[in-house]
């Protein structure tokens, strides 16, 4: 069994992205599952191209995508991805979509197939603040989640897939009035999410 875990490159003027910093720190195996790690670009168009290729190549049984949600106080396990790209700010390629579908002729939304409530319960039991989130937004994170779930569904794969947003890490908020979470705690949260998804 393989678990595909992704994080994003920095964006929005940040020097780091806590999602990728945490994913990089994950062990190469958890239980009997091989952990494969990829950094995704903060690009609407590239994510739509790359993720299907990565899933096709690696054939994972579990797909956990992660991204930064600066300003959130908890690890937020996403419930739903919607078929829209809409942003007030440009992605790292300078692209700024407005009310665009991610894929034409695709469903309006997909629900995560990860055990989201069980993940949140396990995180809280391990003293990590966590909640279920009912919006992955309309930026590149949502596009990644929708793309993965759409690929799994249309190819009738058995893989579980979903998305987890993580807060800033302390070094990002030295001059911001915003919450943060230690990187080690974020890494542990992703590990716990993997374990719960393997059960």
User: What residues act catalytically?
Assistant: 78, 141, 165
Provide the token pair at 154: 């249309």
> Radius of gyration of the chain from Cα atoms?
15
Pairing of strands 160-166, 75-78: antiparallel
Pairing of strands 33-40, 75-78: unpaired
CA distance 153 to 21: 29
Residue 126 DSSP label: T
8 Å CB contact between 58 and 7:
no
Phi, psi (5° rounding) for residue 45? -70, -45
Residue at token pair 């992703």: 190
């Amino acid at each position: 069994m393989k678990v595909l875990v992704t994080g994003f490159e920095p964006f929005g003027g940040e020097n780091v992205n806590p999602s990728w910093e945490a994913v990089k720190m994950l062990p190469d195996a958890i239980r009997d599952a091989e952990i494969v790690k990829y950094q995704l670009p903060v690009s609407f168009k590239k994510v739509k191209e790359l993720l299907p290729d990565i899933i096709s190549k690696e054939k994972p049984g579990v797909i956990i995508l992660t991204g930064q949600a600066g300003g959130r106080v908890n690890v937020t396990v996403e419930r739903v991805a919607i078929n829209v790209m809409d942003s007030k700010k440009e992605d790292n390629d300078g692209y700024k979509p407005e009310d665009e579908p991610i894929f034409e002729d695709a469903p309006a939304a997909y629900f995560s197939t990860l055990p989201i409530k069980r993940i949140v319960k396990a995180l809280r039991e391990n003293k990590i603040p966590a909640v279920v989130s009912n919006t992955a937004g309309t930026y590149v994170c949502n596009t990644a989640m929708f793309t993965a779930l759409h690929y799994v569904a249309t190819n009738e794969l058995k893989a579980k897939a979903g998305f987890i947003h993580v807060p800033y890490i302390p070094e990002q908020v030295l001059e911001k009035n915003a919450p943060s979470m230690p990187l080690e705690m974020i890494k542990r949260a992703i590990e716990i999410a993997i374990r719960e998804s393997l059960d």
